């Protein structure tokens, strides 16, 4: 059962005109996908700079390719959880609503969210490391062979690695949401990675009510107006049910 959600939060939400949500790996945890910085997370087993960076790919492309193939196989057998579905429902409950995600698994889209702002790209698509051309051929998830582009370049997953710029348009849109919304959720993210972690701070500075849904304390818990120390799959369906009971504006 979600920890007691303050009545005032539901009150604020029922009157909200524009809701923004930033999600991180924690939202996919209850679908069975490891997070990065939890004690059993990916970064406890792998070195991010070796596996999620341009230098890492250049120094050992096979190791990086293998790691993404392993993650793609994990993601391939997962399904959205109640938290993803609740966010997809929330999209229809406000005059303006934007979902911004750091996740690359596309479970939000599978759950029915559309126009998802993917700050860190996605693990499903691929492009050429050399000429950047999108690589449209089906990837054999069991293959250790790095496919080649017709320019001869190696193919890589279309995620944003450390040291790489985020897609400019997506970042600009996300910053606009943070500036304009009246309520901003930070859900399932440790808020350690920038510029994504700036978004709740921008929202707060621009007068939004900021809400954190996370079983643990994060680097930005201190700025929150509301903190719900529970999981997303528990909390979000409960918020949706409470909102349905109230007349929205």
> Considering CB distances under 5 to 8 angstroms, the limit depending on partner class, which of ligand BV8, Zn ion, none binds residue 91?
none
Least distance (Å) from ligand BV8 to the CB of residue 195? 6
151 binds Zn ion (CB under 5 A): yes
Kindly name the residue from 84, 108, 120, 127 that is annotated as catalytic: 120
Beta carbon nearer to Zn ion, 131 or 176: 131
Cβ burial of 76 (10 Å; 0-12, 13-18, 19+) is exposed
Least distance (Å) from ligand BV8 to the CB of residue 138? 21
122: which DSSP letter? E
For residue 154, what are the β-bridge partners?
148
CB 203 within 8 A of CB 20: yes
Site residues, ligand BV8 (CB under 6 A): 24-26, 29-30, 35-38, 41, 52, 102, 104, 120, 159-166, 188-190, 192-195, 213-216, 218, 231-232
CB 48 within 8 A of CB 101: no
Beta carbon nearer to ligand BV8, 16 or 27: 27
Binning the chain into helix, strand and coil, the percentages to the nearest 5 are 35, 20, 45
127 is catalytic: no
Least distance (Å) from Zn ion to the CB of residue 43? 30
Q: Which of residues 126-145 bind Zn ion (CB under 5 A)?
A: 128, 130-131, 133
SS3 209: strand
């Amino acid at each position: 059962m979600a920890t007691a959600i303050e009545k005032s939060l539901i009150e604020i939400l029922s009157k909200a005109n524009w809701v923004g949500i930033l999600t991180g790996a924690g939202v996919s945890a209850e679908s069975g996908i490891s997070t990065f910085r939890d004690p059993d997370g990916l970064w406890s087993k792998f070195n991010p700079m070796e596996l999620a960076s341009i230098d890492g790919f250049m120094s050992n492309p096979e190791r990086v390719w293998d790691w993404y193939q392993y993650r793609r196989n994990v993601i391939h057998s997962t399904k959205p959880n109640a938290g993803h579905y609740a966010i997809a429902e929330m999209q229809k409950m406000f005059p303006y609503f934007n979902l911004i995600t750091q996740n690359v698994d596309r479970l939000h889209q599978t759950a029915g969210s559309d126009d998802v702002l993917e700050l860190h790209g996605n693990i499903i698509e691929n492009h050429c490391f050399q000429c950047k051309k999108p690589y449209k051929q089906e990837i054999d998830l069991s293959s250790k062979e790095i496919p080649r582009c017709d320019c001869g370049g190696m193919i890589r997953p279309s995620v944003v690695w450390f040291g790489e710029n985020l897609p400019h348009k997506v970042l600009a849109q996300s910053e606009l949401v943070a500036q304009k919304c009246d309520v901003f959720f930070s859900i399932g993210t440790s808020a350690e990675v920038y510029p994504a972690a700036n978004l709740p701070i921008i929202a707060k500075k621009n007068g939004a009510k900021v809400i954190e849904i996370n079983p643990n304390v994060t680097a930005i818990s201190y700025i929150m107006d509301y903190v719900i120390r529970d999981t997303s799959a528990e909390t979000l369906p409960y918020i949706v049910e409470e909102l349905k009971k109230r007349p929205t504006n």
